[in-house]
Structure 1
């Protein structure tokens, strides 16, 4: 957090290297978060790019109140929502291109991992967006329920309920898939 405050201050002084450091520090996690909220890798990259452009445009008057990571994750979630609204499609798959397989994985393990990832992606796309968003923000974004509740403009209990309902929905969908 202190490093982030220093980086923001240096950006405000015109230091391009400081902004580059912020980008390098957070871009990968933000891209993964966006990819898990959207079904389009290019769109996820665009969302993250837009978030950094927006930060660059306001950095001279930006005041970091809490965590920069939390702020950026909230921006990515909001931009992802806007993208989905504009696209008017609710099909969202987990982008398994973001998952790096272990070097020790056998070909059979890789095939099984790919198949599981596809099933999970299909199951995620069938969840209502609010539940999917709560699950992704909690598990991939490592956001607390309080932050998710603020982002979704609901109570903490509702955010937690959406998360639990999302997990139960995934469990049900995946179990029914296995029975086929």
Structure 2
């Protein structure tokens, strides 16, 4: 199939070349890529490329030698491309992990700042109101329990809690709006 016969490569002749060399070329590719599916793809790509360029390819050696060399280089190209892609994926993964850690640290810092602001707002309440609020909100005591513990009426507890929550809401709203 050299010279004039080469220029007239028919689909039948191509099929013969494919059937005769396919398994051998897959083994050649396997030596490099170590994956039968990828080796199959590399060989498939070689045959497609060869068919598309059949009129341009001039063989100085046997088809088998040409094909073996071409599959070897296609396998090496695949490995290079894969290595580059893996490096990029690794870098992206590292960047994403760093972004997640940074976001978590930022969130923790934000929560800490919010906690400090809330504690400052609670501390800004008048002493008696703050004590009643802490007993209710943090120690989970009922109105009756707070009234008994503070020696005040239940209505005073209700009034002081209402005023505490109103003050905290307005300060929180101001904080959210950036006024505080």
Taking structure 2 as the reference length, the TM-score comes to: 0.43
Indicate the structure (1 or 2) with the bigger Cα radius of gyration. Answer: 2
Taking structure 1 as the reference length, the TM-score comes to: 0.43
